[in-house]
Amino acid sequence: MPRHINIPIFIPHVGCPNACVFCNQRSISGRMDFDPALVDGQIAEALSTVGAEDTCEIAFFGGSFTGIDRELMLYLLGVAQRYVDDGRVMGIRMSTRPDYIDERVLSDLSRFTVRTVELGLQSMDDRVLAASGRGHDRECALKACGMIKQAGYELIGQMMIGLPMSDSQSEVMTAREIIGAGADGARVYPTVVFYDTELACMTERGEYTPLSDGEAVERTKNVLSVFADADVPCIRVGLQSSENLADESKVMGGANHSAIGELAMGELYYERICREIERRGIRGGELTVYVSRGSVSKAVGQKKKNKSRICQKYGIRRIKVLEKNQIMGYNIILEHNT
C-alpha cells in the first residue's frame, strides 16, 4: 500500500534566539551538528529507501525554519525544490513559530512548492505562553494561522500538554482555537522535561511539577476528543522515540512513555465505547465494536485493558473489536447480542 512519507531534515535551533522553557533542541532532535552542504545527500539517501508508489514531502523540522538566516532558508528551499521539479517529491513542509510568519516570509515561500506549514503554537493561553517563555502571544498565533490559510497552505497546529500554568481546561480551549483558526491537522506533545532546560531548573526549584504518565494520558485524551469531534486529524501524539528520549540521563521527567499516544487514543476509545453502552443501556451479553481501519489495537487498549474494563463494568461476556472501512476517525458502531 502506498505510504505518505515526510523526509525530515532537522535544523536544530539554527537561528532561534528564543528560550522556551521546555526546549533543549539537542535532546529533541538528537543532533546538534548541522551542515547545509549535507542536506542534498540526506534527501537523496532517504529517497533511495522509498517505494515508487509512495508520496513524499521534504520536511524541514526541528527548529524555526522561517526564522533562520534568510539566505540559508532560500538555499535549503532551493535544494528541496530540485527534487520537486524532478517529480521525486510532491512538495515541501516545515515547522516554524507564529512570530516568524509575515508577508515577506510568505512571499519567499511562494517561490517554492511549499504545501504545508506546521506552527508551533503550544498554547493559545497567554498565561501559559508567558510562563513557558514562548515570546509570542495568542493574538500573534491567530494572526499567523490566518495568514498561512489565506496564502493557501495546509496548516498543522502543534500544541503541548502540561506546560507551566496550564491545565486540562486551557488545553481543551487551545485545541478549540486551533480548530477555529482553520487547522487541517494537529500534533500534540505532552511535555517532557529535559535536563539543561529552564523547565528542569523550575522543577528543581519546585515551581513546576512534571506530568505523570497518567495525567499526560488523561489530558491528551481530552484534546484528542476535541480534534476528533471536529474531524481534524492528529498526525502525531508525543515526541518520536529517539535515542535521547530513551536515554534516562537526558530526561528528568514528564511524559516520557514511549507509547503515550497509543495510551491516550486507547482512553479515548474507552470513553466513547462506554458512552455508547450507557446511551443504549447495554448490560450483559456479547458486544461487537466496529472501529475505523487501523484502530483495532487502540480500541482494544494496551494489554487488552479496554476489553477487560468494559466486560467487568457492564457484565459483558465477550467483546470483539473489528475494523470497518466506512468508519472514520474515532467513530464506533456497537452490535449487541444478549
Query: How many Å apart are CA 13 and CA 220, to the nearest integer?
Result: 26
* Residue with grid cell 520536511, as numbered in its chain: 59
Non-local CB neighbours of 91 within 8 Å, separated by 6+ positions: 57, 58, 84, 113, 114, 115, 116
Orientation angle between helical segments 168-180 and 138-150, nearest 10 degrees: 30
Is the Cβ of residue 24 or residue 225 nearer to ligand SF4 in the bound state? Answer: 24
Is the Cβ of residue 138 or residue 307 nearer to ligand SF4 in the bound state? Answer: 138
Is the Cβ of residue 13 or residue 219 nearer to ligand SF4 in the bound state? Answer: 13
Among positions 23, 73, 92, 228, the unique one binding ligand SF4 when judged by CB under 6 A: 23
Is the Cβ of residue 66 or residue 292 nearer to ligand SF4 in the bound state? Answer: 66
Q: Minimal distance in Å, beta carbon 103 to ligand SF4?
A: 21
Instruction: With CB under 6 A as the rule, give the number of residues binding ligand SF4.
Output: 11
Ranges of beta strands (E only) in 113-264 are 114-122, 154-161, 185-190, 192-194, 234-237, 251-254
Q: Taken in order 217, 222, 223, 226, is the CA torsion positive or negative? A: positive
Among positions 5, 6, 18, 74, the unique one binding ligand SF4 when judged by CB under 6 A: 18
Among positions 7, 10, 11, 25, the unique one binding ligand SF4 when judged by CB under 6 A: 25
Q: Which residues in the 106-145 window bind ligand SF4 by CB under 6 A?
A: 120
Q: Does 16 bind ligand SF4 (CB under 6 A)?
A: yes
Cα within 13 Å of Cα(330), Cβ side? 28
**Is residue 52 within a helix (H) or strand (E), and if so which, with residue range?**
none
Which of 16-24, 254-262, 272-280, 326-334 is the region at the interface with ligand SF4 (rule: CB under 6 A)? 16-24
Q: Minimal distance in Å, beta carbon 28 to ligand SF4?
A: 8
Non-local CB neighbours of 53 within 8 Å, separated by 6+ positions: 2
Query: How many Å apart are CA 269 and CA 276, to the nearest integer?
Result: 11
Q: Does 20 bind ligand SF4 (CB under 6 A)?
A: yes
Residue ranges that bind ligand SF4, judged by CB under 6 A: 13, 16, 18-20, 23, 25, 63-64, 97, 120
